[in-house]
Amino acid sequence: MSAATNLPLAQLRFWDTTVGKKAVMAVTGFILFCFIVGHLLGNLQIYEPPEKINHYSELLKSMPSLLWGTRIILLVSVVLHIWASFALWLLQRAARPVSYVKKVNAHSTYASRTMMWSGPIILAFVIYHLLNFTFGTVHPGGPFDEHNVYNNVVTGFQFWPSSAFYIIAMIMLCYHLYHGLWSMFQSLGYSHPVYTPWIQRGAKIAAILIAAGYISIPVSVLAGFIKPV
């Protein structure tokens, strides 16, 4: 049992409790989900003429306060999300120090069982993705031009190992989003035998659509539907 749970109730801070940690995960998860959706909408401009996504990139760079403010919020959200996830895992482990003789996953989904390792895979991908497409320090597809986002994306995905890693990460993101979205409602107290199945279905549909949108880009590049200019 953790030290926090041995404290008198009056001395417990909100984030020291299991409910508090779940709330932190839910709120930060929602912030990250909003970014994922917004980022996808921006990325899908790759299907339009090259100047569209290049202008979009220049527009973001012309607002450094907004850009860096968003980055700071995302960084804080990621750190808190990872902290809450790890803290909850430690609490769960402490509650059952002896492993099951035979573990039966009767009430869990594949998505929920992969949350602890899908998260690190996604984090590793995000780091590589930033180095590849944002900073250009790791861009195996060819020369990186900070003013030509369109070509950076296309040439980056023409290097098939990068595309393969991207697709695998997006599949992991799909599972992560599916479990995270519907469990977020439970963490915030929205749980009902009638509504929860609908929330789960909605979470699954949203996760699949988001992952499919992201995956469509490297697939289109590899298939030759999107070409550099």
Q: Tens digit of pLDDT for each residue in 129-172?
A: 999 998 899 998 888 998 999 999 999 999 999 999 999 999 99
- Map out the domains of the chain as residue ranges: 4-222
Please name the residue ranges forming H helices in 49-193. Answer: 50-61, 64-95, 110-113, 115-129, 149-158, 160-187
Mean pLDDT of the chain: 83
SS3 164: helix
pTM here is: 0.82
> With bands split at pLDDT 50, 70 and 90, how would you rate the model's confidence at 186?
confident
SS3 100: coil
198-217 pLDDT, tens digit per residue, is 888 999 999 999 999 999 99
> No. of H helices and E strands in the chain?
8, 0
Which residues neighbour 175 within 8 Å (Cβ) at sequence distance 6 or greater? Answer: 110, 111, 114, 115, 118, 207
> With bands split at pLDDT 50, 70 and 90, how would you rate the model's confidence at 58?
very high
* Poorest-pLDDT segment among 52-56, 187-191, 197-201, 208-212: 187-191
The CATH number of the structural domain formed by 4-222 is 1.20.1300
Q: What's the whole-number mean pLDDT along residues 62-86?
A: 92
Give Cα 29 to chain centroid, integer Å.
8
- The amino acid sitting at 13 is R
